[in-house]
Structure 1
């Protein structure tokens, strides 16, 4: 994960602090430790963001922000990753979580109707909720661990690759100077 690539898309903390809707979080937003891009802070931010994204709750972004603050990881990445479950992907993700939860509970999963409506969900909520909660937490934990490991591996691979390229350039320069 190149630091420059991530910094290109990061918002300015001072601009966020001045927004009226985020004033209650201005202390947290102003903390420079939550804007650092290191292998640890980015990997943990991916974990927090993926975990929060898989939870079927309102205010996932607030949960991600609090998780970033508690784990001292990158705040914008944690909050931004929550948008993996956006209004377009949310029904599919949460239905998949429900199916996983039903499988873990060893209960038959209800088939989704051709058109899912809020009425259908409200009528089936008592049956759906335990499996959805279990599946969401299980998926969140697994994805958080996998995201953390993957970011650390990719980051390490990129650094070792850049070291090898630098070493090769030095060798070529020395060889050219000696010739």
Structure 2
């Protein structure tokens, strides 16, 4: 991980200095890592190829770790796109109360009707992505905070046991 001071000396980042002049953006602590995880996991469910930029932007707003935010967007990758977005589409159709297809049949994706399919599937897909991204982002935020705390408690207990062994 680069030194935050070195990163801030970059002339291209000078414009962004007010936004990125926070040492937690590159440090690993419970708050910044959990906020970065939320930003990255939420952004991973955006069905556009701008996920890392959104994750870093959200991480700047939430004062989360930008490296964790960027890395956690890889939950969605070329191997997981179809299952993730299909699940989001199903969640969106459930919340909108729409059948999978206006005729009641599952939607068939063919090259000749791809634009029509995108327009038809767009609303449920986007709604599902927001819902699933928010739920999983919050779950990852809570999980990181909980696991980090568990790790700290375990370290305290180990130190206490070792201290009593010495005495």
TM-score range, shorter chain: 0.7 to 0.9
Deviates more, 1:118-127 or 1:46-55: 118-127
Counterpart-to-counterpart distance in 2, 1:45 and 1:160 = 22
The Cα shift of 1:121 comes to 3.7
CA contact (8 A) 2:24 2:32 kept: no
Structure 2 gaps, min length 5: none
- Give deviations 1:116-145, integer Å, cap 9, x for gaps: 565554231121011001100000110111
TM-score by length of 2: 0.83
- Give deviations 1:58-80, integer Å, cap 9, x for gaps: 21111111111111110110011
Match of 2:94 in 1: 103
Q: How many residues align?
A: 160
Higher helix share: 1
Change (3 A) 1:164 1:90: same
Counterpart-to-counterpart distance in 1, 2:74 and 2:7 = 21
1:81 maps onto 2:75 in alignment: no
Counterpart-to-counterpart distance in 2, 1:122 and 1:41 = 40
TM-score by length of 1: 0.78
Change (3 A) 1:84 1:151: same
CA contact (8 A) 1:17 1:26 kept: no
